[in-house]
């Protein structure tokens, strides 16, 4: 693309125009994904995944949150390529935001083996993560959306890439906006996608500084957080990201923010007198708007730099390359 733009004042020849059109099509990587990708090659793929997700969430509601988070942590690190699932000494799993924190790998393994048994070597681990994220949200009463498919799996996974691309809960609003902008996502999409924190739990270590040192926090909420999260020790003690309804995908997260009951520093940044306050107001009063925006934003997140065509591979085992 850049090489075409850098030709100054050239009269476009037919060849140039063709090249422009061609590179435009290639550049639109999302155009290569399709919701019908497995319709003939593996017609049972989606129903197999949904049945397994429903069972896992029924067994433990929090698993829906853990599975949704996997897709986010996959897509933000070199695109949605299942790099987050690879085992290894310096794999993404070992990175600071992930180690002792990400969960659900066993559920993905079970789903992958079930999908392999209905059609071997066809469905990528990256696509499984995208479908599982949708089915998890639906299982917890959230919105549905059509999942774009056709991603392939990476052969590499880098802890340092995860450390530098996954936003930290210590970031301020401008840091969060920059982190999402680096992935082609807008500030509006940051707020919508942060609504994922309407489900799931976080460890004491991720909110201790807020529970003890911050002032933009409801005082009784602060006291209750301190009782669950000591100033030293108890690093793995859990608190719900949405204190109101942690296993329902609703808009309560946004109402909590308005009440200064965001769990993470980064959560409360979205409602702290800045440019995103009005969107939090809207979502807190209009659940349908939040759900529609979340669905659109997660489809866009799922389009981040997919491997397609003959790039990458279809892993047989999501934990290792073929």
Ligand X SMILES: *[C@@H]1O[C@H](CO)[C@@H](O)[C@H](O)[C@H]1NC(C)=O
- Site for ligand X, rule CB under 6 A: 172, 174-175, 208-209, 212-213, 231
- Residue number with CB closer to ligand HEM (125 or 264): 264
Going by C-alpha positions, the residue among 184, 158, 160 that lies closest to residue 302 is: 184
Q: Using the rule CB under 6 A, is 269 a contact of ligand HEM?
A: no
Residue 103, binding choice from ligand X, ligand HEM, none, Cβ under 5 to 8 Å by partner class:
ligand HEM
- Indicate which residue of 71, 73, 197, 265 is catalytic: 73
> Which residue from 264, 280, 299, 307 is in contact with ligand HEM, where contact means CB under 6 A?
264
- Residue number with CB closer to ligand HEM (97 or 312): 97
CA distance 176 to 117: 41
- Residue number with CB closer to ligand HEM (66 or 284): 66
- Residue number with CB closer to ligand HEM (239 or 255): 239
For residue 25, give the 3-state DSSP assignment: helix
Least CB distance to ligand X at residue 258 (A):
20
Cβ–Cβ under 8 Å, residues 148 and 299: yes
Residues facing residue 238 across a β-bridge: 203
DSSP category for residue 1 = -
- Residue number with CB closer to ligand HEM (50 or 203): 203
> Which residue from 79, 142, 143, 200 is in contact with ligand HEM, where contact means CB under 6 A?
200
CA distance 241 to 245: 9
CA distance 58 to 53: 8
Q: Using the rule CB under 6 A, is 196 a contact of ligand HEM?
A: yes
Angle at 53 between CA 322 and CA 248, to 5 degrees: 135
CA distance 114 to 128: 11
CA distance 140 to 197: 13
Residue 176, binding choice from ligand HEM, ligand X, none, Cβ under 5 to 8 Å by partner class:
ligand HEM
**Helix, strand, coil % over all residues of the chain, rounded to 5:** 55, 5, 45
Q: Using the rule CB under 6 A, is 68 a contact of ligand HEM?
A: yes
Active site residue 197: no
Residue 66, binding choice from ligand HEM, ligand X, none, Cβ under 5 to 8 Å by partner class:
ligand HEM
Q: Using the rule CB under 6 A, is 206 a contact of ligand HEM?
A: yes
- Residues identified as active-site: 73
């Amino acid at each position: 693309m850049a090489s075409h733009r850098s030709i100054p004042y050239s009269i476009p020849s037919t060849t140039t125009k063709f090249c422009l059109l061609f590179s435009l099509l290639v550049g639109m990587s999302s155009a290569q994904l399709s919701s019908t990708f497995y319709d003939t090659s593996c017609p049972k793929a989606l129903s197999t995944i949904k049945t397994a997700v429903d069972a896992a969430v029924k067994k433990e509601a929090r698993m829906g949150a853990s599975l949704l988070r996997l897709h986010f942590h996959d897509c933000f690190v070199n695109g949605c390529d299942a790099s987050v699932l690879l085992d290894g000494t310096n794999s993404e799993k070992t990175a600071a935001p992930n180690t002792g924190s990400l969960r659900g790998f066993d559920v993905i393994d079970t789903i992958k083996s079930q999908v392999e048994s209905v059609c071997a070597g066809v469905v990528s681990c990256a696509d499984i993560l995208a479908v599982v994220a949708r089915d998890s949200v639906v299982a917890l009463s959230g919105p549905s959306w059509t999942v774009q498919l056709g991603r392939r799996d990476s052969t590499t996974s880098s802890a340092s890439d995860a450390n530098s691309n996954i936003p930290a809960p210590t970031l301020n609003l401008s840091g969060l906006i920059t982190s999402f902008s680096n992935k082609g996502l807008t500030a509006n999409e940051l707020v919508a996608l942060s609504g994922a924190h309407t489900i799931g739990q976080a460890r004491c270590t991720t909110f201790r500084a807020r529970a003890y040192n911050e002032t933009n926090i409801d005082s009784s909420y602060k006291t209750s957080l301190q009782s669950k999260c000591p100033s030293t020790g108890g690093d793995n003690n859990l608190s719900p990201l949405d204190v109101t309804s942690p296993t329902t995908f609703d808009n309560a997260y946004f109402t909590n923010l308005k009440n200064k009951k965001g769990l993470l520093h980064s959560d409360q940044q979205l409602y702290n007198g800045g440019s995103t306050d009005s969107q939090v107001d809207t979502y807190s009063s209009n659940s349908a708007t939040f759900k529609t925006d979340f669905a659109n934003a997660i489809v866009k997140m799922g389009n981040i730099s997919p491997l397609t065509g003959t790039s990458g591979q279809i892993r047989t085992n999501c934990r290792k390359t073929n």
